[in-house]
Amino acid sequence: MPLISPEEYESLSPAQAIELQKQLREQIQIEPLEKPIQTIAGADISFNKYEDTVYAGIIVLSFPGLQEVAKATVISKATFPYIPGLLSFREIPSLLKAWELLSVKPDLMVLDGQGIAHPRRLGIATHFGLVTGTPALGCAKSLLIGKYETLPEAAGSTSLLYDQSEVIGAALRTKFKVNPVFISPGHKINLEQSLEIMKQCNSGYRIPEPTRKAHLLVNQIRTQNMGDKRSTQLGLF
């Protein structure tokens, strides 16, 4: 099947989406960054359970200072079903709308999810990097695929993540004795740089700052939107 734009993802069957993932996989570039980064962005999605409303947000930070530079949020509808392994088809269209609204495009994107640490090597970070042509990495709170050795308890400890004999990412402990996050390169960056940059984005929380701030941003707009709806229903506006 020919490659299609994210605006057309709603027309795909699950089998067609998997075929598209296989085609996109051939375009992945896991390689060193072309230039030092001055801005880094976090991206995240928030949903209300049993609803198809999508709250998408991207926040751009200076690097290494991690001060806010720009942000954009979008409220839209998910048009692709919730299917494990194909979640990027549900989330990418909304994230791209937020991307288009950004006044400053970042040098590197960090997405709340996987890069190549995915059964078909096409997690949300890889998918987003490919469709935007932007360096991207995944920072996931949970393991999707692969195995790793037990980490030392110290913050900054890492353990490579393997799918059989292939290195697809790494577990990174960001706080003493706290469960690790899972880092995997998405596109136009390698694993070593992905880990080093995420370590520099550690500000004492389990989740590194780009995706932590993106998570706060999308939950803020979701909560605000729900409050506005309630106020309208009550006749307060």
What the block records as the tokens of 224 is: 């605000």
Q: Please list, in sequence order, all residues whose beta carbon lies within 8 angstroms of the beta carbon of residue 155, skipping any fewer than 6 positions away.
A: 173, 174, 175, 176, 178, 202
Q: List, for residues 176-230, the tens digit of each pLDDT value.
A: 989 999 999 999 999 999 999 999 999 899 999 999 999 999 999 999 887 655 5
Instruction: Single out the residue of 179, 141, 41, 160 nearest to residue 101, CA to CA.
Output: 41
The total of other beta-carbon atoms located within 10 Å of residue 94's CB is 23
What the block records as the tokens of 143 is: 């393991």
Pairing type for strands 53-62 and 158-163 reads: unpaired
C-alpha angle 144-149-151 in degrees, rounded to nearest 5: 100
The total of other beta-carbon atoms located within 10 Å of residue 15's CB is 9
Q: List, for residues 79-100, the tens digit of each pLDDT value.
A: 898 899 999 999 999 999 999 9
The total of other beta-carbon atoms located within 10 Å of residue 227's CB is 11
pLDDT > 70: what percent of the chain?
94
What the block records as the tokens of 177 is: 């004795």
Q: Give the least confident one: 69-78, 147-156, 221-230.
A: 221-230
Determine the distance from the C-alpha atom of residue 122 to the mean position of all C-alpha atoms in its chain, rounded to a whole number.
12
Q: Name the phi and psi angles at 46, rounded to 5.
A: -130, 140
